[in-house]
Amino acid sequence: MTLSIIIPAYNESNRISKTVRNIAGFLNANKISFEIIVVPNNCSDDTEGVLKTLQTEEIPEIKILTISHVGAKGNTKGLAISTGMKESHGDYTVFLDADNATSFNEILKFVSCAKDGYDVVIASRYVNGAKIIKKQSLLRIILSRVSNSIIRVLLLPGIYDTQCGFKLFSKRAAKEIFSRTTVYGWGIDLEILALAKYFGFKIKELPVAWEAQDESTVKSHAFFFTLKELFQIRKNIKNKFY
């Protein structure tokens, strides 16, 4: 088995090394072959330099795909993830946030679930068995709950946590879904799940232990950008654009 790990990185020079080391260490310890594709996007710090040093001195399995998108100002998570996914070669591919809010140690149960027949396996903070180790601010909790309710009503009924940054795909699902993505921003999570449903892939939502990170680069206004993309995705589905 080969795992591809995709990490979108926006100004993550302070913690990307720790995240990548933890992932590589876990996979080496479990004798799993892997590639780590990190996609710095619109960074104004030294994220790329930190990664190049790590690649040269410690972890040659890192692949760095730097992108920029004029005018997006950090709202390029979707473009970064799609770029990385299209370059992946693993039997299974997982994308996760650079802050490691969901421990990578969860990956084995995700792979096990995929081997049981699920094409897309997503982490959830809101299903039975999930554990919140450290909560977000009250404002973020409110925005998260409100957005999740809107998303379930308008686009993805039955899925309780679309935005948790830890999702695994079979090779077939990854190829089919990410060849059709159109969203550049934070709404990428919505689009890939909508596409998974559209093409009949089996989706499983797994409970995880999750810990809010103090240095999150995602600001509260992401809520409004995501809602805008939600309506575009809904329109695309209705018009059979995909």
Residue ranges per domain, the chain? 2-238
pTM assigned to the model: 0.90
pLDDT digits (tens, 9 = 90+) for 73-95: 557 889 999 999 999 999 999 99
Torsion of CA 140, 155, 208, 110, to 10 degrees: -150
User: Which span out of 25-29, 143-147, 182-186, 207-211 was modeled with the highest average pLDDT?
Assistant: 25-29
The sign of the torsion formed by the CA atoms of 150, 153, 154, 158 equals positive
Q: What percent of the chain has pLDDT over 70?
A: 95
Q: Identify the pLDDT of residue 218.
A: 56
Q: What is the mean pLDDT of residues 124-135?
A: 89
pLDDT at 156: 95
Asked if CATH classification 1.10.540.10 holds for the domain at 2-238, the reply, yes or no, is no
**How high is the pLDDT of residue 172?**
96
What pLDDT shows up at residue 219? 57
Q: What is the DSSP letter of 67?
A: B
Of 142, 174, 11, 9, nearest to 80 by C-alpha is 9
Mean pLDDT of all residues in 177-184: 92
pLDDT for the residue numbered 215: 56
Closest CA to 226 of 190, 177, 176, 172: 190
